[in-house]
Amino acid sequence: MSEARTTFLGALLTTLGPISMAIYTPAMPELVRAFGTTEAAIKLSLSLFFGGFALAQLVAGPLSDALGRKAATLIFLAIYLVGSFLAAVAPSVEFILAARLIQGIGASVGVVVGRAIVRDLYVGTDAARILNTIGIFLAIGPAMGPTLGGLTLATFSWHAVFVLMIAFGIAAGLCTVFLLRETVTPDLARLQPARLVQNYLHVARNRQFLAAAVILSGTIGALYTQATMLSFVLINRVGLTPTQFGVGMLMQSGFYLLGSVTLKLVVQRLGGARCALVGITLCGIGGTLMALSVALVPPFFLSIMGPVAICTFGLALLTPYIVTLSLAPFAHVAGSASALSGFLQMGSGFIGGIAAALIGDPLTAFGIIIPTMELCAVAGFLWLRHLTRHA
């Protein structure tokens, strides 16, 4: 496939999970009222999405290595559509919980195959350039998600939010059928249990991969975790309406987009490693400011979203270089390597969401959990630099 087609399909599939999360978040407080349930129950629906997304990647990756990228993608998109339909007609909160779990399982294929097809066809700076362009689309899609979800909620009922997800799933399936060309030779032997374990152990033993996984799990995991808190903090504590929340979330994705465009402009002059250093530094600064703002001042929009914007700008500078390094050693099992990396990122988001539910107060959880995750990513980056210098 051409670089343009690879980039488009990679972006479309990779954004499946984040858009499903972004469109949903403005509806969370409304679902609390609609079903007469608690905030904790609705937060659990997002955590179950994370859990299904994380665990299913461990299956989606090897399945894409064994059956081919295209067949695996279509199987999981069908699962995603089933979950979206069940959520749209859900008569109770328990139904929503089950449907979101199914949705998460189906969406898991996106990030796995999206990155794997890039690794199948491109390496080094070419791969990093494509991943950076995917990052730009990744910012635009989820940036519009909360806004679209908030406007839909203001015009229709919460059911329409899940109808939007059905439409996105159908569009992803049609593009997969007509645009995706197979990028790997299918090999059913890769599904043998012993072979699966061997492949995952091969990936997990690589210290470069582990260091990169710590960085991505801390930064991207923080992005997923804060999604379980921001709607409650900004709507219930700061006082925004769901529509204002959707528009306000453009600050998060807007700074990710700005970071991706900035990287595209400066990476040739500074190099990927230096851009990543600037990125992780901004993540550390943003996390520190986040903890201080929650501890020292009453919450208002900029006190919450200012540090978030700094972190997401840094994340955009950081991600392409780190993802390329994490997948570089695994030419023949790119699906498994991408799956394990994604599992760790989503698993981090899932654990962070559970920790937030245990803390109870969303604002307190936001000021403790997210800064901790960002600083763990800084430690992982220092480890990765030590490994590369030693090599």
Averaged pLDDT for residues 123-142: 75
CATH superfamily of 3-180+193-390: MFS general substrate transporter like domains (1.20.1250.20)
Tell me the backbone φ, ψ of residue 298, rounded to 5 degrees. -65, 145
Residues 78-93 have a mean pLDDT of: 93
Q: Is the confidence at residue 67, as pLDDT, over 80?
A: yes
Neighbours of 143 (CB within 10 A): 22
Q: Is 36 left (phi over 0), alpha (psi -120 to 50) or beta?
A: left
d(CA 53, CA 173): 18
- Radius of gyration over alpha carbons of the chain, in Å? 19
Long-range contacts of 150-159 (CB under 8 A, 24+ apart): 150/26, 150/241, 150/242, 150/243, 150/244, 150/245, 150/246, 150/247, 151/243, 151/246, 152/23, 153/26, 153/27, 153/30, 153/242, 153/243, 154/242, 154/243, 158/27, 158/30, 158/31, 158/34, 159/88, 159/89
pLDDT at residue 239 above 80?
A: yes
Which residues of the chain form beta strands (DSSP E)?
Answer: none
- Which tokens sit at 336? 């498994």
At 86, list the tokens.
């069940």
Position 104 confidence tier, pLDDT thresholds 50, 70, 90: very high
Model confidence at 352, pLDDT cuts 50, 70, 90, reads confident
Domain extents for the chain? 3-180+193-390
Report the distance separating Cα 187 and Cα 181, nearest Å.
16
Please give the pLDDT value at position 237. 87
Average confidence (pLDDT) over 111-124 = 84
| Dihedral sign computed on CA atoms, order 108, 109, 110, 116 | positive
**Is 45 in contact with 21 (CB distance < 8 Å)?**
no
Cα torsion 256, 261, 267, 269 to 10°: value is: -130
pTM, two decimals, is: 0.76
Residue with tokens 């099992």: 333
pLDDT surpasses 70 at 141: no
pLDDT digits (tens, 9 = 90+) for 277-303: 999 999 999 999 999 999 999 989 999
φ, ψ for residue 369 (rounded to 5)?
-70, -50
Low-confidence winner among 59-63, 74-78, 190-194 (lowest mean pLDDT): 190-194
Alpha helix stretches (DSSP H) within 68-92: 69-88
Predicted confidence at residue 391, as pLDDT, reads 67
Cβ pair 236, 292 in contact under 8 A? no
Residue 295 burial (C-beta neighbours within 10 Å; 0-12, 13-18, 19+): exposed
Q: Which of 249, 73, 72 is nearest to 144 (CA)?
A: 249
Asked if 317 and 274 count as a contact pair (C-beta separation under 8 A), the reply is no
pLDDT, residue 142, reads 64
The pLDDT, as a whole number, for residue 27 is 82
pLDDT of 140 strictly over 80: no
Q: What is the mean pLDDT of residues 217-229?
A: 86
pLDDT, mean of residues 116-145: 77
Q: What is the per-residue pLDDT for 143? A: 62
Residue 220 has pLDDT above 70, yes or no: yes
Mean pLDDT of the chain: 86
pLDDT band at 139 (very low <50, low <70, confident <90, very high): low
Maximum CA extent, the chain? 58
| DSSP assigned state of 181 | P
Q: What would the two tokens of residue 221 be?
A: 């995991």
Q: How would DSSP label each residue in 215-260? A: HHHHHHHHHHHHHHHHHHIIIIIS---HHHHHHHTHHHHHHHHHHH
Closest alpha carbon to 385 in 337, 331, 322: 322
